[in-house]
Structure 1
Amino acid sequence: MSARGRRAVRAVLPRRPARLAAVTLVSGLVTAGTLAGATSAVAEEAPRSGGGATATIGGLKTYGDAVVHGADGDRQVSAGLFAMSVEGGGTLQTYCVDIDNPTQKGARYQETPWSGTSLGANAAAGRIHWILRNSYPQVNDLAALAAEAGVPGLTEQDAAAGTQVAIWRYSDGADVEALAPRAERLADYLERSARDTAEPQPSLSLDPPAVSGRPGERLGPVTVHTTADSVTVTPPAAATANGVTVVGTDGKPITSAADGSRIYFDVPGDATAGSASLTVQASTSVPVGRAFVSDSRSQTQILAGSSESTVSATATADWAEQGAIPALSARRNCAKGGLDITAANQGDEPFVFSLMGTEHSVAAGGRQTVLVPLQEDQAYDFTIKGPHGAGSRFEGVLDCATETAESKAVGGESVQTLSEPSPLTVGGGTDTTNLAETGGSGATPLIAGTAIGLVVIGGAVLLLLGRRKNPTTRH
C-alpha cells in the first residue's frame, strides 16, 4: 500500500486526544498530609491484585528499523518485540501500542482489560488482535508466514518489525513505514488483511473482587474466570484463625477451583465486624491480545506470546451484624475518562459516601457505580472507609490515550526530540532505557520527569469512620 493510501486509511481512525504532559493538581476532599497518614495505616496489608499476570519489562528482543512521518519531519525508531519477566515465573513477548511514549526499562506492568487502556476507545483494537494472532511470533513458521503474505525471504527481524509497524498504524493512527522492504511489505499485508477480533478473556480474574454480608452467612459468590485448567485457593492465615473459611457452592472448604467456579467466604455467626481476603493463583499461558499497563506511564504493551506463567487475583469480604455493609471495588473507564467506583451494600441501612464533593447513597441491598473523572496521565490515590472501619484504598494512573506526535508542546514550551539515548529510571532505580529502542525515540523528558517525580491526589477521598487497617488495590 502506498504512503498516500495508508494516510487515507488512517484518516478514518479515531484521533486520540494528546496526553497531558504536566499533571494537574486537583483540589480534593483531604490534604496530602492526611492522605499520607492513611497510606501508612494501610501499608502493612497485602495489596490486592486486579487479576492476571504481573511482569517487569526488559528491552527489545527482536526488532528492525522504521521511520515515522510527522508534521515536524521524519524520525527513525526501532520496531519489534519486547521481553517481559513474569512475577512468580514465566516470560512474555509484547508489542507496544503507544509509539510516541517511551518505554522505561524495569517498569512493572499489570494485565489489564482493554477498557482500562487506549484500546478501549479504539474501534480498531480488534484488528490489532487479529494481527497478533496471524503474525510473528504466533506464526513462528517464517516460510509459511512469508508464503501467506507474499513476502519471500522473511527473517525474524523483518517479521517483528513488520508486525509492530502494522500495529502502530491501527493503535496510534501513525504514518509509519518499516525500512526493510520485506518488513514493509509484511506490514502492508497485515494492515490490509486485519479483521475485527474479539477481546481475549483474562488469564485470571475474580468477579466481583469484593463482597459483603452478615456473620453466619456465606458471603459471595465470587466467580473465577481463568484460562488455566485449575487455580489454587489460599485464604489468609488471620482469617482462618478467626474461623472464616473459603467454601464452594456445596459449603465444603476448597483449596482449588476452575473456570466458572463460585467461591464463598463462610463467616461464623459470632464473628465481630471485620474483613478477610482470599488469593487464587495458577500457571497458564496468558492469552494473546491481553493489554499490559504500568503506573509509571511506561508505554502500554499488548501481548504477542506467553510461556507458562504465574497469574493471580484476590478478593475481599467485609461483614458486620447491622448497619451499612459496603463492598467497594474500582475499574478504569477509559471510554468515560475516569475511574468507576462500585459500591454494593448488603447491610440494613444506606451506605453514604462522598466523591469529588458529591454525596452518594447506596440503599440497603443496592449497588451503585460512580465515575471519578480524571485527567489523562493523572495519578490518583485515595481511601474510602466504611461505617465499621472497613475500607479500600485505590491508587494508580489514568493512562487512556496514546501520545501523538502533535502533543510535543507542553505548556506552550517545545519539548526536545532526542536522537541520542536518554536514561529514564523508575522509582529511583539505576536501570536505563535507550529511547531509540523503544518505539518512541521522540522522547519527552519533561513528561517522564513529571510522571515519575510527582504524586498527585485527584479527587482524594478519606471518610474517617473507623481505624481498622485497609487493604490496598491497584487499578
Structure 2
Amino acid sequence: MIRIQERRTAARLSAITAASALATVAALAAAAPAMADDGVQATYKGMASGQTNKVKLTGHGEKDIPAGLMNLQVKGSGAPTLSVYCIDLENPVGQGDNYAEGKWDDTWLGKRADDGGKVKWILLNSYPTKTVDQLKAATGASGLNESEAGAATQAAIWHFSDHADLDPGDKKNDPDVKKVYDWLVQNAKVEPGEGTKFSLSLEKDDLSGKPSDNPGVGPFTVKTTAGGKDITAKIKDAPAGTKLVGKDGKEITAKVGNGDELYVKPPADSKKGEATFEVSGSSSVDVGRVFKGVRNGQSVASQLLILAGSTPVKATADGTAKWATSGALPAFTADEKCDEGGVEITATNKGDEDFTFTLDGKQTVVAKNGGTVKQLVKVAEDQKYDIKIVGPDNKVLKEFTGVVDCKPASTTGGGGTPPTTAPAASPAPSGPELAQTGGNGSNSTLYMTGGAVLLLGGGLVFFVVRRRTAQ
C-alpha cells in the first residue's frame, strides 16, 4: 500500500458512532465498503485482555507466535479502543506504534480479491463477531474459550493473508484452536457483493477556476451508495458572499444525493480567493477497515491490521475551491498505483496561461484552459519517497511523501512476526467496536457514543474516500 501524506489541512473526515439495533444495521447494510485514507489515528496497545494463546506455523521454525485479538487505542480524549487482527505476518508491530487508516484497494486485499474476500468472510463468521458459544456449536470445539477463539481466527486469517498454515503436527497447537481453524479455512468464501465501493466521497475535492465560471468553480460530484437525497452540503470557510450552488446556479438549500454536482460561486467582484465546504451523511460500517503504520506523519513498512467489529457512523468530507481572474491555475493530485509500481501525479490547469513544472527530473508543460498531464513516478516496494513538484521559479509547489507497501511481506529483510512476548494487555472491548473517522491535524473531530453492534450475515464496509492532494 502506498500512503500519501497530505500537507493541506482543509480536508477532514469525522464520524459519530451511536448504539443501534440489529434492524438498523440491516437497513444500512446496503452501504458498500471502501477505505478511508484520512480516517482513524490510533496507537497499538498489544494483545487484548485474556488473549494469551500462541501458535506454531509451518515454515516459521520453532517460534511460538502470539495469535489473537489485538487493541488499537484511538487518539483523542475519551476515544474508544478498536479490536483488530493482523493481515501482514512478516512485518513487525510493537507497543506504542502509531497507525492510521488505509484503503482496502491499495493493499494486497484489493489485489488478491479471492484471499481478501475470504479474510472478510472469516471476520464476519468468527470471533468476536460470532460468540464463543456460536463457534462451539458450528465447529464442535466443546472446550473453546475466548483466547482460543481469537488464536484460531488469527491463524485462519494468516492462512489467506500470508499463506501460512497452522502446523498440524505440533502438539503445542491447542486441539480446539485447530478445530476452529480448520472449519474457518474450509468454509471461507467470497460472498457476492463483498466488493469495495465508495459510500460517500467527492469525485474531486480540490478544484480551481475563474470567478466568472458559470455556475461556479466545479463540478464537485457527490459519490454515495446512500439512496435518495440524504447528504447534507454546506459552506464552511469562505469569503463573505460565497455560495454553494447546483448546476442550475441556484443556491443549495436542501439535501443532495449520488451524482449531484456542486459548485462554489465566488462573491461578486472577487478577483482571487479560496473556499471550503463539507458534505456529510450516515450509514453502517463493519469489519474490514485497514490500518497502516505511520511515523512522524509518514507511512512506514509495518504490520497491516484489520478491524474486527461493526457500528453505525456519521461521516463528513471536505471540498476546496480556488479562483483567480488571470494567469495559470495549476492543481496537482496523487493516486496510488500499486499495479504500476509507483505514484501517479495528475496536473491540471484551468488558467488562461500555459504552466510549466518539473517532476522527477522531467519538465512538463500543462496547456491552458483545462490541460491535463499524468506522470508516473516509479517507487520500489518498501521504499520511502518524497515527491516534489517544482514550479518555473524553482520553488516547490506541492510535495507528496510516504512509503510503498503493496505486499504483505517485507522485501527489505526488516520484517518480523508479532512480538514473541506479548505486550502488556489492555482491556478487551465488550464487543465489536469501531471508532469514528477523523482528519489529520487540529481540525479533526472525534465523537463516539453508544455500544457495539453485532452483525448477522454478510455486511458491507462503509468508508469515506477522498482523493489525496498536497499543498
Structure-2 separation of matches of 1:419 and 1:344: 50
Question: CA offsets, 1:17-74, max 9 Å, x none?
Answer: xx9xxxxxxxxxxxxxxxxxxx9xx979556666563130333226332223336x22
Structure-2 separation of matches of 1:104 and 1:156: 23
Q: How does 1:188-227 map to 2 (within 5 A)?
A: 188-197=182-191, 198-202=194-198, 204-217=200-213, 218-225=216-223
Aligned to 1:394, which of 400, 404, 407?
Answer: 400
TM-score, scaled relative to structure 1: 0.67
Residue in 1 aligned with 2:444? none
- Does the CA-based 8 Å contact 1:51-1:311 persist in structure 2? no
Aligned to 1:375, which of 370, 375, 380?
Answer: 380
Name the aligned partner's letter for residue 318 of structure 1: K
- Does the CA-based 8 Å contact 2:91-2:417 persist in structure 1? no
- Does the CA-based 8 Å contact 1:318-1:390 persist in structure 2? no
Structure-2 separation of matches of 1:474 and 1:99: 32
Deviates more, 1:384-393 or 1:306-315: 384-393
- Does the CA-based 8 Å contact 2:71-2:81 persist in structure 1? yes
Residue in 1 aligned with 2:160? 170
Residue in 1 aligned with 2:454? none
SS at match of 1:384: strand
- The alignment-based identity, stated in percent, is 37
Structure-1 separation of matches of 2:178 and 2:470: 39
Residue in 1 aligned with 2:266? 267
Q: How many equivalent pairs are there?
A: 381
Structure-1 separation of matches of 2:373 and 2:424: 45
- Does the CA-based 8 Å contact 2:205-2:319 persist in structure 1? yes
Question: CA offsets, 1:172-227, max 9 Å, x none?
Answer: 12234592222222222222222234333356432223222221332223234457
Residue in 2 aligned with 1:455? none
Deviates more, 1:273-282 or 1:288-297: 273-282
Question: Structure 1 pair 400/201, CA: closer, same or farther in 2 (3 Å)?
Answer: same
Superposed displacement of residue 167, structure 1: 1.1
- Does the CA-based 8 Å contact 1:122-1:171 persist in structure 2? no
- Does the CA-based 8 Å contact 1:249-1:263 persist in structure 2? yes
Q: Does 1:125 align with 2:116?
A: yes
Structure-1 separation of matches of 2:96 and 2:258: 32
Deviates more, 1:270-279 or 1:93-102: 270-279
Question: Structure 1 pair 173/259, CA: closer, same or farther in 2 (3 Å)?
Answer: same
Name the aligned partner's letter for residue 172 of structure 1: D
SS at match of 1:289: coil
SS at match of 2:401: strand
Question: Structure 1 pair 45/195, CA: closer, same or farther in 2 (3 Å)?
Answer: closer
Aligned to 1:94, which of 75, 84, 92?
Answer: 84
Structure-2 separation of matches of 1:417 and 1:300: 11
- Does the CA-based 8 Å contact 1:91-1:306 persist in structure 2? no
- Does the CA-based 8 Å contact 1:215-1:320 persist in structure 2? yes
Aligned to 2:244, which of 243, 246, 250?
Answer: 246
Name the aligned partner's letter for residue 55 of structure 1: Q
Structure-2 separation of matches of 1:320 and 1:207: 22
Question: Structure 1 pair 53/153, CA: closer, same or farther in 2 (3 Å)?
Answer: farther
Residue in 2 aligned with 1:181? 175
Residue in 2 aligned with 1:306? 310
Superposed displacement of residue 387, structure 1: 8.2
Question: Structure 1 pair 325/416, CA: closer, same or farther in 2 (3 Å)?
Answer: closer
- Does the CA-based 8 Å contact 1:378-1:397 persist in structure 2? yes
- Does the CA-based 8 Å contact 1:339-1:371 persist in structure 2? yes
Residue in 2 aligned with 1:341? 345
- Does the CA-based 8 Å contact 1:91-1:309 persist in structure 2? no
- Structure having the higher helix fraction is 1
Q: Relative contact order, CA 8 A, sep 6+: which one is greater?
A: 2
Question: Structure 1 pair 369/148, CA: closer, same or farther in 2 (3 Å)?
Answer: farther
Name the aligned partner's letter for residue 188 of structure 1: D
Superposed displacement of residue 75, structure 1: 0.8
Residue in 1 aligned with 2:126? 135
Q: How does 1:252-331 map to 2 (within 5 A)?
A: 252-253=251-252, 261-268=260-267, 270-280=269-279, 285-296=284-295, 297=300, 298-309=302-313, 311-331=315-335
Question: Structure 1 pair 149/333, CA: closer, same or farther in 2 (3 Å)?
Answer: farther
Question: Structure 1 pair 367/186, CA: closer, same or farther in 2 (3 Å)?
Answer: farther
Q: Does 1:359 align with 2:366?
A: no
Residue in 2 aligned with 1:59? 46
Question: CA offsets, 1:267-307, max 9 Å, x none?
Answer: 23532334333344566543422322232334211222133
- Does the CA-based 8 Å contact 2:398-2:470 persist in structure 1? no
Structure-2 separation of matches of 1:225 and 1:91: 30
TM-score, scaled relative to structure 2: 0.67
Question: Structure 1 pair 77/129, CA: closer, same or farther in 2 (3 Å)?
Answer: same
- Does the CA-based 8 Å contact 2:360-2:387 persist in structure 1? no
Name the aligned partner's letter for residue 381 of structure 2: E
SS at match of 1:305: coil
The unaligned stretches of length 5 or more in structure 1 are 1-15, 20-38, 422-432, 436-471
Question: Structure 1 pair 221/400, CA: closer, same or farther in 2 (3 Å)?
Answer: same
The unaligned stretches of length 5 or more in structure 2 are 14-35, 426-467
Structure-2 separation of matches of 1:420 and 1:288: 27
